[in-house]
Structure 1
């Protein structure tokens, strides 16, 4: 009897698939090529293009570095967000992208452009309406609201690249409600003193959460995200990129906390062991989303309509090692450690500086952590040998334009290539 192993069968199937693709020309671009005419962005700060009317202090700027002068959103000459950088790769970026945002609680009438960038994204937007309480994104349109408006605006066109950057604020909201709950002691890594969230924030977000409640809400957040993705694909979208949330434990805020809190933050973003199995309540958002999407949108020899990009591991590379949090992997890109956000800098002594003595507070809005800033000497000291391009983080949560550009190029050069979109 000939013993035909399962491994051999899998190998032959893989070889057959490779041969089929090679017979089509051998190039990834022959499977499901994308020649983008528009980049449509949804979600949060990763793709919020501001609205050009006022500086960051009123949340109308980008949630990153906003140009060279005070109120500098009008002085930006290069892409600064993930969606804009992707658009620039396709030759679609301009200094005046369309910021599709609510005005006084409603979307104004618009004639949708047939080319360029249209961003519905708004800084503190969340996926799950149940977590979007007043305080952190409470007034920002949820992902579902943004997508519903896009469909009302005409919906997807044949050559749209749709970019969803969402979930980071959902994780932040859940983390604050758990770490800041009554009776819990979260401490700062630097000196062991207590860390407490801004006054009233936990209550505004919906109150204390136990750990079990946190993971249950990850389930509902995953379900809502899959529902919104389905709306786009059912409406005809052929190229949808979903950028999963960043690993909060590698942000300046996360790195400023004690080891136990850091471990908890990491567990929200990805699994460090073999626990990613269906039915495990304490799966990370990445695991829950992977399980939900793998059967619903499997890749085929005809390509795939959905590309979910897991950035947690890539962030680990960008921000250094788990033990040090030093930017020692990508020193050619960043001269400053991830514990030092550019908007908090008043003086830079050396690349070994790794402190977060106080949170950057632009004003009372935006959870007092994550407003971004202008590249202005009243906000930070622009030393010529240490420009803000040397920083990974603009503030305690958001990336600098350099950080966003690296993410966008990773999506295009690696993820989209493997998906045969180019």
Structure 2
């Protein structure tokens, strides 16, 4: 069975039980959710500027998917470091405080610890949570062995599920969980020579995550990042984009950058002044070899918003 069809089988199995039907978007809508606030936990794919910049083209726009969802509800979302409620931080791993470049970044677990120590969920709060990219990059840098990579990522998926459960147990009524996108389709993954191993590891992560939250359908909505971004990457023109192969930014980081080695383009350093010559970055899928452009981020945010409106 190929990875694609195995992935579909896992999703169908997850959606087969009555307990999780609502998590897969099958519930009957009785009232429209009007969120009081959005609270986010996660890694660089959801970081709205914890250290001042974001992992995309820093053009001053709404350019992170969680922000796009909040804006669609008429709300805003800013980083905790700026007085907001987004704890998501670039390079964050799920449990380890050692980040994906060997430094220190508050893990997803620690982000939740910090929130729960000082705050609590209101009845109309929405929590976003994602993770796994930092764990993937850190393990890949340590070893590309296919079995080890898949085993580590399967455990990471379970670990994310545990953090989702913590949010629900702490009173979160609306939890939006973003799966991990298939990084084998990123410019980094394509060039790695290990695309099949990376894809298999991502599949293990998302499958373990789904299995670990399959009884939380009353409160949890899973957004399938791998499914959605695979569509965008395979057919960018269908989404108003032109390029899913090349990267928009030229902001090379002489250090460890985004976790794929030194001397690589790092989108957290990217502005409209550090773009490839002659391009229209608003039609690119990737800002650097791992992270998405504002357009791709906003497309995913719009997709997530549609799923939320259908569910809640």
Q: Same fold (TM over 0.5)?
A: yes
Instruction: Report if the CA contact (8 A) 2:35-2:126 is conserved.
Output: yes
Aligned to 1:228: 163
Structure 1: distance between partners of 2:266 and 2:72: 27
Deviation sequence 1:316-372 (CA, Å, 0-9, x none): 11111xxxxxxx343552122x2211013xxxxxxxxxxxxxxx6323142344631
TM-score for the superposition, normalised by structure 1: 0.62
Unaligned segments of structure 1, at least 5 residues: 1-13, 15-20, 22-26, 52-58, 68-75, 102-109, 180-209, 271-283, 321-327, 345-359
Aligned to 2:199: 266
Deviation sequence 1:355-408 (CA, Å, 0-9, x none): xxxxx632314234463143333x22463xx32111101101111111110111
The answer to whether structure 1 residue 146 and structure 2 residue 111 are counterparts is yes
**1:242–1:404 distance in 2 versus 1, CA, 3 Å:** same
What SS does the corresponding residue of 2:127 show, helix, strand or coil? Answer: strand
Instruction: Report if the CA contact (8 A) 2:130-2:180 is conserved.
Output: yes
Aligned to 2:140: 175
CA RMSD of aligned residues (A): 2.7
The answer to whether structure 1 residue 82 and structure 2 residue 65 are counterparts is yes
Pick aligned residue for 2:254 from 363, 375, 383: 363
**1:165–1:137 distance in 2 versus 1, CA, 3 Å:** farther
Aligned to 2:54: 62
Deviation sequence 1:234-262 (CA, Å, 0-9, x none): 1110110111111011111111233xx11
Aligned to 2:150: 215
| Residues 3-402 of structure 1 mapped to structure 2, 5 A cutoff | 28-30=28-30, 33-51=32-50, 60-67=52-59, 76=60, 78-93=61-76, 97-101=77-81, 118-129=85-96, 133=98, 136=101, 138-179=103-144, 210-258=145-193, 261-270=194-203, 284-294=204-214, 296-297=215-216, 299=217, 304-320=218-234, 328-336=235-243, 338-344=244-250, 361-366=252-257, 367=259, 368=262, 369=264, 371-372=266-267, 373-377=269-273, 379-381=274-276, 383=278, 386-402=279-295
Report 1 or 2 for greater relative contact order, CA contacts < 8 Å, sequence distance ≥ 6.
Answer: 2
Structure 2: distance between partners of 1:86 and 1:316: 20
TM-score for the superposition, normalised by structure 2: 0.82
Structure 2: distance between partners of 1:402 and 1:159: 28
What SS does the corresponding residue of 1:47 show, helix, strand or coil? Answer: coil
Higher alpha-carbon Rg: 1
Structure 2: distance between partners of 1:127 and 1:135: 11
Q: Which has the higher helix share?
A: 2
What SS does the corresponding residue of 1:125 show, helix, strand or coil? Answer: coil
Residue 218 of structure 1: how far off its partner (Å): 2.5
Structure 2: distance between partners of 1:397 and 1:311: 14
Instruction: Report if the CA contact (8 A) 1:309-1:411 is conserved.
Output: yes
Structure 1: distance between partners of 2:191 and 2:30: 47
Residue 232 of structure 1: how far off its partner (Å): 1.1
Aligned to 2:7: none
Residue 409 of structure 1: how far off its partner (Å): 0.8
Q: How many residues align?
A: 285
**1:264–1:245 distance in 2 versus 1, CA, 3 Å:** same
Unaligned segments of structure 2, at least 5 residues: 1-15, 17-21
Structure 1: distance between partners of 2:102 and 2:129: 17
Instruction: Report if the CA contact (8 A) 2:155-2:208 is conserved.
Output: no
Instruction: Report if the CA contact (8 A) 1:376-1:382 is conserved.
Output: no
Structure 2: distance between partners of 1:34 and 1:137: 40
Residue 49 of structure 1: how far off its partner (Å): 1.6
Instruction: Report if the CA contact (8 A) 1:125-1:141 is conserved.
Output: yes
